[in-house]
Every structure is written in C-alpha cells, then in structure tokens.
Amino acid sequence: MCRHLGWLGAPRSVASLMLDPPYGLLVQSYAPRRQKHGLMNADGWGVGFFSPDTPEGAPPCRWRSAAPLWGDASFASVAPALRSGCVVGAVRSASIGMPIEPTASAPFTDGSWLLSHNGLVDRAVLPLSAHAESTVDSALLAALIFDRGMDLLGDTVSEVAARDPQARLNILAANGSELVATTWGDTLSVLRTGDGVVLASEPYDDDQGWEEIPDRHLVHTDGDAVHMTALKGPA
C-alpha cells in the first residue's frame, strides 16, 4: 500500500504539503495513522507538479526515489523552494515481489497527467503496455488508465475490480487544472481551504474541515467545487 496527496489551488511550496504538516507524507512514510495494509511506506517516494515556468505542452516536473522519504536531505533542502498550484505526492510500500526502484514510485505520467495508485492489483488482469514505466502493478494500471483516457477512469476502475475482486484501487490524478480520484478499498479525505482543495489518503493535520470520502466513489475538483459520484462494481 501507499499514501498519496494532491493539491489544486493557489501556489504552495512542496514542503508545505509533504514535509511540514504534523502528519504529512513525511510522517506517513514511517507512522501512518489510517493505513489499513502495511505499517510504513519506506520503499520510495515521489512528487510531481506543474510549474508556472514550464512551457505550454511540456510534461510536468517529477522527482522520484526508491529510498525512504525521511532519509532524503537533498529533497528536504529544495522542497521549500518548489512552488506549484497543482501537486501530486506519494510515499510507497512495495507489495511482496515487486521491484523497489525510482520508476516504480508514483506519480506516473503520460506527459499530461500525474497519477498515483494506492492499493494492489493482480498484474495478470492488466494488459502489458510499452508505455508502462515499470513492471509493478501500479505502473501497469497507470498505463491502462492513460491508454483508455481519464474520462473513463471510473469505468476502468470498476472493470479492473471485476477481474480482480481483491483489488484495492484508490487512484489520484492531476493535469494542472483538475484533480480526480477514486476510492476503492482504502481511505481518502478532502479538505477545502480558502485557496484550494487537498485530496489525501489521510488528513495531514487535525483541521476540523477534513471530510472522509465514502468507499467506491469517483471524485473530481477544479480547485473550488468538489463532486462525488458512486462507482458501480462487484459486491
């Protein structure tokens, strides 16, 4: 399993989202509070963001590692200077038998979207893809979602769940102007702030504004309104 977070709104530093909160991804890498599967997330981390300085049409910026987030002093020193209005960050707990390598850490990208998968799925039910960044289940799932299109995210999650009833399919994706997510087998919470929206596997602080999103839902936000739709699938 993993923990992930997405921000869409006014520009914020990456450190303020991942490192500074009292229960942020840094703490969740060694002491998550709501993780249902696994005890820590020490098998890598990643962050992706859309920079206002990036030329139009250029892919989002990414920084990924196979090391624990708590041990990366270089990232800790640079993260306060990285600012964006759209960020996706994740810390990873590798499933048994899966490789531990930077390319296995979310977020994955197709050049337009950033995508993180919090969960587990049998690779046998996923098609092989030359676009997959790694052989891990999350990378294959990301490639399938990208190939089918983000407009079909809910349908894709439901269809994969039908092929693998034990799958856990919490997806978080962003393209610079939208955040979309699914809940399927694990936790996700939303925080509406005065200048944007946070979607996170678990709250990164004790703000009373956090709301838990029900399981088996599709979530969409443009940084202001948040819309939720129930997903259909096997019982």
Strand partners, 114: 109, 174
Q: Is 188 exposed, middle or buried (0-12, 13-18, 19+ CB in 10 A)?
A: buried
Among left, alpha and beta (phi > 0; psi -120 to 50; other), residue 139 is alpha
Q: Judge whether 47 and 16 are in contact, CB under 8 Å.
A: no
2 is catalytic: yes
C-alpha distances (whole Å) from 55 to each of 51, 114, 223 are 9, 17, 22
3-class state of residue 10 by DSSP: strand
Residue 12's nearest CA partner among 46, 70, 51, 44 is 51
Q: Judge whether 70 and 31 are in contact, CB under 8 Å.
A: no
Both structure tokens of 79: 């993260």
Strand 217-221 with 61-65, pairing: unpaired
Both structure tokens of 140: 């294959």
Amino acid in position 58: A
Q: Which residue of the set 2, 69, 90, 167 is catalytic?
A: 2
d(C-alpha 177, C-alpha 124), whole Å: 33
Both structure tokens of 144: 């399938």
Residues in the chain: 235
Tell me which residues are annotated as active site. Answer: 2
